[in-house]
């Protein structure tokens, strides 16, 4: 009988490794974001968000553990991203981004509200 390793999180953290049910287990990689449900009836069936159904050698608990481990590794990698040490800086707009037009329109509106200065005031 063929020895089946438990599902594992791939080294590049993009997918989990499972085994298709068959005469000889066929390993494949699956994006865990596609897993919708995992059922045992009696074989383990992984239902994907695409509607596809995959029959795998692993138990539902093993699949769930692999997905959980993968998600934890993603969250851990996110927490290790270097953060900026300073706050956000102000960036001035350029002529083509619409910001200058808005500023000019606001400036024109303000100028029209200012009463004219002259000898009659």
What 3-state class would DSSP assign to 67? helix
Kindly state whether residue 110 falls inside one of the protein's structural domains.
no
Give me 15's structure tokens: 């997918």
Q: What pLDDT is stored for residue 83 in this prediction?
A: 66
Q: What pLDDT is stored for residue 87 in this prediction?
A: 61
CA distance 8 to 22: 19
Residue 36 has pLDDT above 90, yes or no: yes
**Looking at residue 45, what DSSP letter applies?**
E
pLDDT band at 11 (very low <50, low <70, confident <90, very high): very low
Q: What pLDDT is stored for residue 76 in this prediction?
A: 87
What is the per-residue pLDDT across 21-33, written as a single tens digit (0 to 9) for each? Answer: 988 989 999 999 9
Look at the chain and report how many structural domains it folds into.
Answer: 1
Kindly state whether residue 18 falls inside one of the protein's structural domains.
yes
Kindly state whether residue 91 falls inside one of the protein's structural domains.
no
What is the per-residue pLDDT across 68-78, written as a single tens digit (0 to 9) for each? Answer: 999 998 888 88
Strand partners, 5: none
Range of the domain at 53: 8-79
Kindly state whether residue 25 falls inside one of the protein's structural domains.
yes
Kindly state whether residue 62 falls inside one of the protein's structural domains.
yes
Kindly state whether residue 75 falls inside one of the protein's structural domains.
yes
Q: What pLDDT is stored for residue 85 in this prediction?
A: 62
**Under 8 Å CB-to-CB from 73, ≥6 apart: which residues?**
9, 13
Strand partners, 55: 45
Asked if 62 and 56 touch (Cβ cutoff 8 Å), the reply is no
Kindly state whether residue 26 falls inside one of the protein's structural domains.
yes
């Amino acid at each position: 009988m063929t020895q089946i390793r438990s599902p594992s999180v791939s080294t590049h953290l993009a997918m989990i490794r499972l085994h298709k049910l068959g005469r000889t287990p066929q390993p494949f990689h699956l994006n865990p974001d596609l897993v919708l449900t995992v059922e045992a009836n009696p074989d383990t069936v992984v239902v994907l968000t695409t509607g596809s159904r995959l029959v795998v050698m692993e138990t539902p608990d093993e699949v769930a553990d692999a997905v959980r481990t993968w998600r934890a590794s993603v969250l851990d990698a996110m927490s290790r991203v270097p953060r900026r040490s300073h706050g956000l800086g102000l960036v001035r707009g350029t002529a083509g981004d619409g910001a200058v037009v808005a500023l000019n329109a606001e400036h024109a509106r303000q100028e029209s509200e200012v009463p004219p200065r002259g000898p009659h005031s």
